[in-house]
Amino acid sequence: MVFPMSKVRKAVIPAAGLGTRFLPATKTVPKEMLPIIDRPILMYIVEEAVRAGIEDIVLVAGRGKHAIEDFFDVSYELEDKLARDGKDAWLESLRKIRDAANIISIRQMRPLGLGHAIGCAKPIIGNEPFAVLLGDEIMIADKDKPTVTGQLARSFEQSGMSTVAVMEVPASETHKYGIVEGETTAMPDGGTRIRVGNVIEKPTAGQSSSRWALPGRYVFDASIFGHIASTKPGKNGEIQLTDAMVAVAKEKGLLAQTFTSRRFDAGDKLGYLQANIELALEHPELGTALRQYLQTLGKTL
Ligand code: UTP
């Protein structure tokens, strides 16, 4: 089947994992709905997608699906009260969430892995290229810089090849990520591009020849769905996205490239706290007070 080179208009946000690292909070609240300051993690991710020109967003949810759906739905009683009380700024912030993009919510019946979660979106994505943004990874681009998803979409649109984001990690951390191996070239903007030869799921130090880790941003053409469908359960009995990526690399070629955004692993307790602190320090109403508090605290540590 031939997939024409085209603009990336759709995105999938998998948010159906069990979030065991955040238990007991995630027993009832999906980890993607935990707040960073006053907005759920998911909101930051939807904003990145919208900034990259994505129009349709498929949210793959599991338990707690209603909390995710309700967040992007009209809350009539609340909005009516805010309007009557003249709380226009709050009203506007709720409307902005709703109007940001077309949000389509689907359910992954069982958490059978990231590859499986993405495969659930096939009926909505169809034959179009699409971005994937992991629901627990926050990427903050400077105002004058493109988002990670924007960078990957541009690579796809220019090369016609699926492109994924990578970052270099210390050897002691490769076991936390999918690791990409391949031939590297320097990009004109100072970044690195890799022609992917292999992808290894969470190798221990020394089990891979590189330290290029996948932090959870991808652009694929629709051929990945066929590879996901024929992927057998791998590590932990899950259908791994990395296995389908190896098949894409072999069949049509796969690019990996570095990015310019700041990244927070909000699915990890320390990463979550770091995101809250760093972003609160930049918050117009909280920054000064928090900085003073941290300075006081610093003297006692
Ligand atoms: P993670 O492996 O980080 O999520 O998946 P998890 O399994 O929920 O986390 P822990 O380790 O138990 O704390 C990365 C992203 O993929 C989604 C998750 O929701 C998360 O946003 N995911 C993972 C799915 O949607 N379905 C799955 O079957 C697995």
Tens digits of residue pLDDT in 78-96: 888 888 998 888 888 778 7
C-alpha to C-alpha distance for 247 and 232, rounded to whole angstroms? 12
Domain co-membership, 134 together with 17? yes
pLDDT at residue 82, rounded to an integer:
86
Maximal CA-CA distance, the chain: 64
Structure confidence at residue 249 as a pLDDT band (50, 70, 90): very high
Determine phi and psi for 167, rounding to 5 degrees.
-140, 150
Structural contact between residues 115 and 238, judged by C-beta atoms closer than 8 angstroms: yes
- Measured from the CA of 137, which atom of ligand 1 is nearest? 21
Question: Is the residue at 211 inside a domain?
Answer: yes
221 domain-assigned: yes
pLDDT of 24 reads 95
The answer, yes or no, to whether any atom of ligand 1 lies below 6 A from the CB of 267, is: yes
On whether residue 3 sits in a domain, the answer given is no
Rounded mean pLDDT, 32-50:
94
Whose CA is closest to 164, among 92, 101, 91, 242? 242
CATH number of residue 118's parent domain? 3.90.550.10
Q: Are residues 280 and 169 in the same domain?
A: no
Return d(Cα 98, Cα 277) in angstroms, integer: 27
Question: For residue 2, how many C-alpha atoms fall within 13 Å in the half-sphere facing its CB?
Answer: 2
What does the block give as tokens for 129? 């290229």
Confidence class for position 237, pLDDT limits 50, 70, 90: confident
Residue having the nearest C-alpha atom to atom 15 of ligand 1: 134
Q: What percent of the chain has pLDDT over 90?
A: 75
* Residue 63, domain member (yes or no): yes
The answer to whether the CB of 108 is under 6 A from ligand 1 is yes
Q: Whose CA is nearest to atom 25 of ligand 1?
A: 16
Q: Please give the span between the terminal C-alpha atoms of the chain, in angstroms, as a whole number.
A: 61
Percentage helix, strand, coil for the chain under 3-state DSSP, each rounded to 5:
40, 25, 35
Beta strands in 151-205 (DSSP E): 162-165, 167-168, 178-186, 192-201
Q: Judge whether 111 lies within some domain.
A: yes
The answer to whether residue 168 sits within a structural domain is yes
Nearest CA-CA partner of 132 in 44, 59, 196, 26? 59
The pLDDT assigned to 2 comes to 46
pLDDT of residue 5: 54
Helix or strand (DSSP H, E) at 44: helix 41-51
Span of 5-19, 95-109, 152-166 with lowest mean pLDDT? 95-109
Which pLDDT score is estimated for 90? 81
Pairing of strands 262-265, 137-140: antiparallel
pLDDT digits (tens, 9 = 90+) for 189-232: 889 999 999 999 999 988 889 999 999 999 999 999 999 999 98
CA of 290 to the centre of ligand 1 (A): 31
143 and 67 in a common domain: yes
Residue with token string 């995101």: 275
For the Cβ of 215 lying below 6 angstroms from any atom of ligand 1, the answer is: no
The Å distance, Cα 31 to ligand 1 centre, comes to 9
| Total domains, the chain | 2
The reply to whether 161 and 299 lie within a common domain is: no
**Structure-token pair, residue 226:** 């066929």
Q: Is the pLDDT of residue 138 over 90?
A: yes
Do residue 276 and residue 288 come from a single domain? yes
pLDDT in tens, 146-177: 999 999 999 999 999 999 999 999 999 999 99
For the residues 61-86, what does the mean pLDDT come to? 86
Q: Where in the sequence is the domain holding 252, given as residue range(s)?
A: 10-267
Tell me the three state secondary structure of residue 167: strand
Q: Ligand 1 centroid vs 18 CA: distance in angstroms?
A: 6
- Shared-domain flag, residues 20 and 156: yes
Residue 112 has what pLDDT? 92
Percent of the chain with pLDDT over 70: 98
Same domain, 300 and 255: no
**Are 90 and 181 part of one and the same domain?**
yes
Nearest to 185 by CA among 255, 87, 263, 283: 255
pLDDT digits (tens, 9 = 90+) for 255-265: 999 999 999 99
> Is residue 17 situated within a structural domain?
yes
pTM beyond cutoff 0.85: yes
The pick from 13, 18, 20, 43 for probing ligand 1's pocket by mutation, whose C-beta has the most ligand atoms within 8 angstroms, reads 18
Residue with tokens 């098949």: 247
Are both 286 and 257 inside the same structural domain? no
287 and 173 fall within a common domain: no
**Nearest-atom index, ligand 1, CA of 116:** 28
Task: Verify that 259 and 278 share a domain, yes or no.
Answer: no
Residue 4 lies in a domain: no
Q: In DSSP terms, which residues pair with 218 in a beta bridge?
A: 132, 164
| 48 close to ligand 1 (CB < 6 Angstrom) | no
- Domain shared by 81 and 228, yes or no: yes
Distances (CA, A) of 19 to 23, 31, 56, 279: 7, 6, 25, 22
Q: Relative to the CA of 110, which ligand 1 atom is closest?
A: 28
Q: Which is more confident, 93 or 71?
A: 71
> 94 near 200, Cβ under 8 Å?
no
